[in-house]
Structure 1
């Protein structure tokens, strides 16, 4: 499914209609900016608030005939909750302005932070991730983590992703049961913290080589920081040695067990294999992460 011009216009009109019905709101301009797998992003100008950003899920949930699914609503709620919490604790995130949830349209309006395409150092990214991991947790509740342990979420997700990949590509990947994976992960001694789990340059607003803000908290959890580091390693987009200079905490890697590291990397490889074979058609990356999934699942069997 692709985002059509017609759907962009529908989303644009609905956002404009909702905002201009609010007290003291007068949106003068709204324009489509870009879109990802889940959200379409619009830039708008409001008379007293200036330039703002609105993001809204754009995929139609054809199974129920609605513009947005329950997962999309949860995603916006999650983004707003975490962003507000981080902003209140001095982390570099856009300020949340307005969250709207309804049958007609769901969207989140945030502060606009000007950026460019300048390069930022891996050490600076490491420093940013360190700040995220040090963010106080008091008062923070993550919507899709309520009443479930972090380890159960990760274990279930790995098994589900293996099943999905096997169905999509007729592969024969196998992993231990949810219970076995969870029992392995529980053995970690690392204190849990806020983890972003999608640290990439597209999710970092930068200007003239400096980090201005981090965005997109859809994958975030309160969990094992080792998973953040393993995801960065597996995606291969950031120089991990330079990253470590900014992150400045080797104890996490030293204290990690091999099965834990392998499981976290497998979770990432499975996600990317599904992404590049189903949503973003990239045969080279799809095949690479499929092979990584096989390699990591086989490594896991040898280490358990």
Structure 2
């Protein structure tokens, strides 16, 4: 889980006004906003409609240290640029802009969206194509160095410990060595994972996927992690996902069927459920959802213990 350093909040509307004036752009309104970034629709006489992406904070706090917002801006810019070369639907990058105070923001192609749901099969096909892209040495802000299995097991342990403070009756987590063995037997090659697939990050028109945005949570890891997260995200109606349709589209494009209830999948599902429970306990307090996601974490812990 990542939290923002509230001591360095950014007035994104003021930044947007300064950037548009400086670059001679036309302000066309708010395009979207999330926990980490605010996106403005701007117009250029030479480049047409663009998306101006501005971080809400100068740095974010991850379990293994602080992450500079500039690293997230560069990450989005590089990933979108590489995936655009592969013909994947993204908001293609245009430029990185350094403000007078050193804040880094980005410009990308503006992708209109009418808010209609994107079919799960299209989402699954996108993920299958994404996971076919050969990895390259991109610096990912939230990926700890070293072995991925060690990283995931350590993260699950930390999240379990944090949630136990809110729910002391949470079932015990299996031994770390056992969990590392589970990850060691996950034989798929590491691929770029989006890890925040949900309605808010899926732009489309006419019910067709036009672009997948917000690559802040991206990691290099096993594709099963992505699909397990989609399955858990789909349990929240606001995310607008049909897990069965996504898996159907994935299998139709990739040709392989991954077991989303294997021990490794359960560990990845648990990682997601713990994260969501903690979000609704503290980052975005919602008592009802915190209760439901804590209950979900208990259920997955019992299933994982039984599977091992």
TM-score range, shorter chain: 0.7 to 0.9
Q: 1:217 is matched with which residue?
A: 215
- SS of the equivalent of 1:145 reads coil
SS of match in other structure, 2:203: strand
How many residues align? The count is 289
Select the residue among 33, 36, 59 that pairs with 2:34.
36
Separation in structure 2 between the aligned mates of residue 62 and residue 196 of structure 1, nearest angstrom: 19
Q: What value does the CA root-mean-square deviation take over the aligned residues?
A: 2.9
Q: Provide, for residues 5-45 of structure 1, a one-character-per-residue CA deviation record: whole Å limited to 9, x for no partner.
A: xx77x323334435655xxx312326444421111222222
Structure-1 separation of matches of 2:13 and 2:191? 37
Residue of structure 2 equivalent to 1:11: 12
The TM-score with structure 2 as length reference comes to: 0.82
Per-residue Cα deviation, 1:41-98 (whole angstroms, up to 9, x for no partner): 22222332222112222147699xxxxx634332222212211111122111111112
Judge conservation of contact 1:11–1:105 (CA < 8 Å) in 2.
Answer: no
Counterpart of 1:190 in 2: which secondary structure? coil
| Offset, 1:147 | 3.3
Distance apart, 1:232 and its partner CA: 1.2
Question: In the alignment, does 2:241 pair up with 1:238?
Answer: yes
- Kept in 2: contact 1:190–1:252 (CA 8 A): no
Matches for 1:173-184 after TM superposition, within 5 Å: 173=170, 174-176=172-174, 178-184=176-182
Change (3 A) 1:178 1:56: farther
Q: Aligned-pair distance for 1:153?
A: 2.3
Find the partner of 2:92 among 89, 92, 95.
Answer: 95
Whether 1:123 and 2:128 are equivalent positions in the alignment is no
Within 5 Å, which residues of 2 pair with 1:1-304? 10-18=11-19, 20-21=21-22, 25-29=23-27, 31-59=29-57, 70-100=67-97, 104-138=102-136, 140-145=138-143, 147-167=145-165, 169=166, 171-173=168-170, 174-176=172-174, 178-236=176-234, 237-248=240-251, 249=254, 251-254=256-259, 258-304=262-308
Task: State the alpha-carbon separation in 1 of the partners of residues 17 and 81 from structure 2.
Answer: 23
1:184-228 CA deviation, whole Å, 9 max, x = no partner? 211111222222111112111100111111111112112111111
**CA distances 1:130-183 after superposition (whole Å, capped 9, x unpaired):** 11111222454534437322222222221221222234x253533245554333
Q: Is the 8 A contact 2:120 2:246 kept in 1?
A: yes
The answer to whether the Cα contact below 8 Å between 2:127 and 2:250 also exists between their aligned partners in 1 is: yes
Structure 2 equivalent of residue 66 of structure 1: none
**Which TM-score applies when normalising by structure 1?**
0.83
Mark the CA change 1:60 to 1:164 in structure 2 (over 3 Å): closer, same or farther: farther
- Tell me how far apart the structure 1 counterparts of residues 291 and 144 of structure 2 sit (CA, whole Å): 35
Which runs of 5 or more residues in structure 1 are unaligned? Answer: 64-68
Taking a change above 3 Å as real, the CA distance of residues 289 and 80 of structure 1, as seen in their structure-2 partners, is same
Deviation at 1:265, TM superposition (A): 0.4
